[in-house]
Amino acid sequence: MPLVVLVTAILCTAVTSGTELTFELPDNEKQCFYEDLAEGVKFDIDFQVIAGGNYDVDCFVTDPTNNVLYEERKKQYDSFTHTTTLKGVYKVCFSNEFSTFSHKTVYLDFRAGEEIPLLPDMNRATALTQMESACLSIHEILKVVADSQTWYRLREAQDRIRAEDLNERVSYWSIGETVILFLVSIGQVLMLKSFFSEKKTNVATST
């Protein structure tokens, strides 16, 4: 039984053309990514801002003739799917030029092309065997698990950055309160000391 599960897991492995990355996007800057695609190729883009400012960014996609296929302003996250009509280099750009001081961290997932069949004869007209059906089922479940892990990983990174930012603000506020309390204490001591000094001077004068 363990051998069957191992073989099934190996058969369920499929090669997919894609890029998944997280990059820094400084303020007042723009970064672009390029992909050379053939005609009739379907590609998918998913992005999400996981840190910085209001968690938003400008994004646009252009074809080889610089026609705009997708353009959104100040988006926190979004998805885009398109099937190419021209062969050439497609460009995906992210802009933080509207921000003067907020540094952003952006996650990008770019997938292109159709998924390669798990088995060489998977597209035949006859019905699938029990092993092939199990392979397809496991493969679909693994894709759902991978997508869920990516989503939870992004949420965890975003929440962690927010928590660190909040902790930094609380620390600075606590330090400020400590300094203010120390200055107020010194001021009160000096004020009380001045009261007794004036009383002592008045007593000496009257004598």
Consecutive 10-residue averages of pLDDT for the chain (207 residues): 33 53 89 91 90 88 93 90 92 90 88 71 62 76 80 78 83 91 88 72 56
- Look at residue 190 in the predicted model and tell me its pLDDT: 85
pLDDT at 3: 31
Global pTM?
0.63
Domain ranges of the chain: 17-114, 130-199
The per-residue pLDDT for 9 is 34
| H or E element in which residue 58 lies | strand 57-62
What is the structure's pLDDT at 117? 62
CATH 2.60.120.380 fits 17-114, yes or no: yes
Q: What is the largest CA-CA distance in the chain?
A: 121
| Separation of CA 55 from chain center | 9
Distance of CA 166 to the CA centre of its chain: 18
The position carrying tokens 């610089």 is 66
Alpha-carbon distance of 142 to 137, in angstroms, equals 9
Contact (Cβ atoms closer than 8 angstroms) between residue 68 and residue 62: yes
